[in-house]
Amino acid sequence: MNTAGRTAKSAFPVEGAAHDELALFTDLYELTMLQAYYHEKMEEDAVFSLFSRRLPEQRKFLLACGLDTVLTAVENLHFNDESLSFLKSTGKFSREFLDALRGFRFTGDIRAVPEGTPVFADEPILEVIAPLPQAQLIETFVMNQVHLQTVLASKASRMVSAAQGRTVVDFGSRRMHGIDAALKAARAFYIAGVDSTSNVLAGKHYDVPVSGTMAHSYIQAHEDELSAFRAFADLYPRTVLLVDTYDTIAGIHKVIALADTLGNAFQISAVRLDSGDLLALSRKARQVMDTAGLNKVEIFASGGLDEQSIAQLLSSGAPINGFGVGTGMGVSSDAPALDMAYKLCEYAGKGRLKLSTGKPVLPGQKQIFRREENGRDIGDTIGRAKEDLPGRPLLETVMHKGRRLDTATKDLKEIRSHARKQTDRLPSSARQIVKEGPFYPVKVSEALSDFQQEVTKRVSS
């Protein structure tokens, strides 16, 4: 078994047991095609590109994410006895083929943009160059992970942008789509600039800062709100108190009463508003607290927030210091999926594409060249991999002959910092959360365009 203990643990916090079964996390047709390739001896190198055909109307760029999970999985991919027994039990596979699967390992290369890099429609996030069956088998898993993590990082980037430097905390575990999503999300959000997560397990596995306040149930379980505040502050002097269980402003007055009782021992850092008109309530809360001398107590808001409501609150001057964001970010509610595809674009040295209506493919290995001017990125060219075009190339080799390159193992803080720098370099119109405005220009190089026409001509004949 091809073990890579170094990274296996961090990438599979919850799929550990299934790590041995991950080869079965695939669409059945991948395996039936593999059997056909095996019998037809079609094992020459193929190139597959992973890209989004178009961006959702509400996204101006995508923040690439998920590569680390992919590399760990692919490096360790194999069929264990139990998996092979199951495949045998389906009656769909020959003994000869199942024997061949027993020795299956991924021996190819992967080229990818680093995690935290902004990408646009048609731009490859990664390309897999490997014997056809190997590159085919990993399709489902690679897409599942890069899609999920890119969807979430891209959404979170908008939240961070809307919050204009104020704290953003991930509260979404309870409504994200399952355990894997919630954990991967905490990591993707952190890469995109979110400050911390409420998910303890994510904190343990990814070393993302963990934070939290208190729930309504704690207040409700006490005989009255002030007793609850007092008891919690006693144990956690610098905590955030949730004030909207019964009446927000009455709750604020109880915080003031607590301050009066505690005197210098009062160290509450913030109050949290979780319902109602957050603009009006934050203003009133600020005013009431300031009048009482609690100028240092911050206001933290939560409750159904998304980037639009955060932007609107701040542009209206809401005195809010931080945001807890749950569902909107956690399921990327306005765009929960991307039109992402993993497409064969070369086999046995020949460019390949399909002509299905509305689903064009750029053939062959490609490169993205990002051009800059005065420190700002101004436009991309998608070219053929070996072209030498103006701009910095974004795709790097991250796996060679089935082994992850050392340069492809990055510290999470480093990825976060890369994401910030790369996002900051985009034109301001691409960073705005509004739909309007000019889109970032992406063109296809002449050589690639010619090659596409040439392949189209060949396959149409």
Least distance from its own copies to the Cβ atom of residue 290, Å: 23
359 lies in the binding site for its own copies (CB under 8 A):
yes
Residue 345 near residue 325 (C-beta atoms within 8 A): no
Q: Interface residues for its own copies in 73-132 (CB under 8 A)?
A: 83, 86-87, 90, 132
Among 205, 211, 165, CA closest to 412: 205
Q: How far is CA 224 from CA 207, 218, 289, in A?
A: 37, 10, 21
353 lies in the binding site for its own copies (CB under 8 A):
yes
Residue from 29, 392, 429, 437 touching its own copies (CB under 8 A): that is: 29
Cα 112 to Cα 95: distance, rounded to the nearest angstrom: 36
Number of residues that bind its own copies (CB under 8 A): 111
Among 367, 349, 343, 356, CA closest to 456: 356
Residue from 4, 42, 98, 288 touching its own copies (CB under 8 A): that is: 42
Least distance from its own copies to the Cβ atom of residue 119, Å: 17
Residue from 199, 282, 381, 422 touching its own copies (CB under 8 A): that is: 199
2 lies in the binding site for its own copies (CB under 8 A):
no
Sheet order of strands, 403-404 included: 350-351, 340-347, 45-52, 126-131, 109-112, 396-400, 403-404
Would you tell me how many other CB atoms lie within 10 Å of the CB of residue 363? Answer: 25
Q: Interface residues for its own copies in 407-436 (CB under 8 A)?
A: none
Residue from 164, 287, 333, 453 touching its own copies (CB under 8 A): that is: 333
Nearer to its own copies among residue 343 and residue 366 (C-beta):
343
245 lies in the binding site for its own copies (CB under 8 A):
yes
H/E run at residue 404: strand 403-404
Residue 348 three-state SS: coil
Residue 125 near residue 276 (C-beta atoms within 8 A): no
β 240-242/270-273 pair status:
parallel
347 lies in the binding site for its own copies (CB under 8 A):
yes
Residue from 11, 12, 159, 367 touching its own copies (CB under 8 A): that is: 12
Nearer to its own copies among residue 3 and residue 357 (C-beta):
357
Nearer to its own copies among residue 212 and residue 391 (C-beta):
212
173 lies in the binding site for its own copies (CB under 8 A):
yes
Considering only the stretches 106-114, 138-146, 306-314, 430-438, report the one whose residues sit in contact with its own copies under the rule CB under 8 A: 138-146
Cα 253 to Cα 244: distance, rounded to the nearest angstrom: 11
The contact mask relative to its own copies for 390-409 (x = CB under 8 A, - = no) is: --------------------
Nearer to its own copies among residue 263 and residue 358 (C-beta):
358
Least distance from its own copies to the Cβ atom of residue 43, Å: 11
Q: Interface residues for its own copies in 218-237 (CB under 8 A)?
A: 218-222, 231-232, 235-236
> Inter-axis angle of helices 28-40 and 95-102, to 10 degrees?
100
Considering only the stretches 108-116, 140-148, 160-168, 392-400, report the one whose residues sit in contact with its own copies under the rule CB under 8 A: 140-148
Residue from 4, 98, 100, 214 touching its own copies (CB under 8 A): that is: 214
Cα 122 to Cα 455: distance, rounded to the nearest angstrom: 18
Q: Interface residues for its own copies in 262-291 (CB under 8 A)?
A: 274-277
Q: For residue 359, how far is the Cα from the chain centroid? A: 24
Residue 323 three-state SS: strand
Q: For residue 406, how far is the Cα from the chain centroid? A: 22
358 lies in the binding site for its own copies (CB under 8 A):
yes
Considering only the stretches 9-17, 107-115, 282-290, 419-427, report the one whose residues sit in contact with its own copies under the rule CB under 8 A: 9-17
Q: Interface residues for its own copies in 432-461 (CB under 8 A)?
A: 459-460
Nearer to its own copies among residue 21 and residue 387 (C-beta):
21
Cα 344 to Cα 346: distance, rounded to the nearest angstrom: 6
Nearer to its own copies among residue 359 and residue 376 (C-beta):
359
Among 387, 381, 338, 380, CA closest to 365: 387
Residue from 10, 21, 98, 378 touching its own copies (CB under 8 A): that is: 21
Q: Within 13 Å, how many C-alpha atoms sit on residue 440's CB side?
A: 30
